[in-house]
Amino acid sequence: MLRYTFNRLASLIVSLAVASLAIFFVIEVVPGDPASYMLGMNAQPDTVAALRADLGLDQPRIERYLSWITGMLSGDFGTSYTYRTPVAQMVADRLWITVPLALYALALSLLIAFPAGIYAAARRGKPGDTMVMGATQLGVAVPNFWFAMFLVLIFAIRLRWFNAGGFAGWDKGLFAGLHSLTLPAIALALPQGAILARVMRSALIDVLGEDFVRTARAKGLSRRQALWRHALRNALIPVLTIVGMQVSFLIAGTIIIEQVFYLPGLGRLIFQSISARDLIVVESVIMLVVFAVIVINFLVDLAYAAVDPRLRSRT
């Protein structure tokens, strides 16, 4: 177990290092001179020179990379050029919307996926299975932001159960905050939940065909008992893989959904920074997102070991 964790940790660090190099390269090296890029065509030469000095562009690239990375590690994400405020603080405010929204959506999608997947697998080939699978096939095909537009139209504008957009803020209480994130979370969770339900079903069906399920049945377990006691935990292994992959889609989805609901999250920050050509913010926020994806995949790897004893003992 220790060796496995160590290996995954080493690979996590390598991935982070390579990813940060790639981001640094694309943002700071490819455009040639980031300062003149950020200021646009018509900038005065002395303004550009000032920004160059400000950004430390006169220093060698390796030093710039190292100072960026060490800064990020110590919580210093640089200072936004357009807003003149520390990026770390801008990000921190917005994380309080994006992260809860992503987690809310993940929880909802698991809540959809597990019952639907298990139900369908247990009734394989029967009308119940066909219905659930038809519904998930449709769910997979629906773009979440399009679904979101109609959620707004029906539940916010016609029925007025929710606000059409904006965020109430956590200072008004947990419920108010969650209430304004509910429609976006549903929009995100439905397609994701549909995908997971399909994976859950096919993983369960595969495992139910394994020899050890037959052994369990020979001991006197009913079909249902064999499913719950033996198949489910084995089926979790492929499901975990997909959950890990879904995280990256969920983050992308969150950023897009924030546009539909006018939520002041990371997504808004990124799009504002892109149109303002504020490379400092873009660079740091992208690094943060990539960091999140890599760390979550590391956690998924650890979860594998919790489920599968063969990984634990592979010393």
Partner 1 sequence: MTLLSIDALSLSIRGFPILRDVSLTVAPGEIVAVTGESGSGKSMTAFSVMQLLPEGTETSGRILLDGTDLLQQTEPQTCAIRGRDVGMVFQEPMTALNPVKTIGAQVAETMLIHRAMSPEAARTRAEEVLARVGLPQDRFPLSRFPHELSGGQRQRVVIAMAIALKPRLLIADEPTTALDVTTQAQILDLLKQLVAEDGMGLLMITHDLAVVSGMADRIVVMQKGQVVETGPTAQLFRNMQHPYTRMLFAASTHKVALPKAPPPKPLLEIRNVVRAYRTPRPHPFARPGRFEAVKGVSFTLQRGERLGLVGESGCGKSTLTRALLGLEPVQGGDILFDGKPILTRGTVDASIRRRMQLVFQDPYGSFNPRHRVDRLITEPFHLLDDAPTGSARQKTIDEALTAVGLQPADATKYIHEFSGGQRQRIAIARALIIRPDIILFDEAVSALDVSVRARILDLIADLCGTYGLTYLFISHDLSVVRSVTDRVMVMQSGQIVEQGPTEQVFSAPSHPYTRTLIDAAPVLPEIA
Partner 2 sequence: MSRTFLIGAVLTACMAVLALVSLVWTPYNVTLLDIPSKLQGPSAAHWLGTDHLGRDMLSMTMQGLRTSIAIAALAIAVGLALGVPLGLTAAAHKGGWLDEIIMRGNDIVFAFPFLVMAILITAVFGPSAMNAVLAFGIFNIPVCARVTRGAALSLWQREFIMAARVSGKSTARISAEHILPNVTDLLIVQGTIQFALGIQVEAALSFVGLGVQPPTPSLGRMLADAQTLVTIAPHVALVPGLAVVLTVLGLNLLGDGLRDMLDPKLRARRA
Q: Which of 229, 262, 274, 299 binds partner 1 (CB under 8 A)?
A: 229
Q: Which of 18, 66, 131, 299 binds partner 2 (CB under 8 A)?
A: 18
Give 216 or 242: the residue with its C-beta nearer to partner 1.
Answer: 216
Q: Can residue 7 be called a binding residue for partner 1 (CB under 8 A)?
A: yes
Per DSSP, the three-state class of 304 is helix
- State in angstroms the smallest separation of the CB of 70 from partner 1: 26
Residues 270-299 that bind partner 2 (CB under 8 A): 270-271, 274, 277, 279, 282, 286, 289-290, 293-294, 297
C-alpha dihedral over 94, 99, 105, 106, to 10 degrees?
160
Q: Can residue 211 be called a binding residue for partner 1 (CB under 8 A)?
A: yes
Sign of CA dihedral 288, 242, 192, 171: negative
Residue 172: name its binding partner from partner 1, partner 2, none (Cβ under 5 to 8 Å by kind).
none
Give 80 or 177: the residue with its C-beta nearer to partner 2.
Answer: 80
Contact 263/165 with Cβ under 8 angstroms? Answer: yes
**d(C-alpha 91, C-alpha 11), whole Å:** 27
Sign of CA dihedral 285, 290, 295, 300: positive
Q: Can residue 234 be called a binding residue for partner 1 (CB under 8 A)?
A: yes
- Spell out the residues 6+ positions from residue 267 whose beta carbon is closer than 8 angstroms to its own: 98, 254, 255, 256, 257, 258, 259
Give 177 or 304: the residue with its C-beta nearer to partner 2.
Answer: 304
Tell me the helices (H) and strands (E) count for the chain, helix number first.
14, 0
Per DSSP, the three-state class of 58 is coil
Binding positions for partner 2, rule: CB under 8 A: 11, 14-15, 18-19, 22-23, 26-27, 30-31, 137-138, 140-143, 145-146, 149-150, 152-153, 157, 245, 248-249, 251-252, 255-256, 259-260, 270-271, 274, 277, 279, 282, 286, 289-290, 293-294, 297
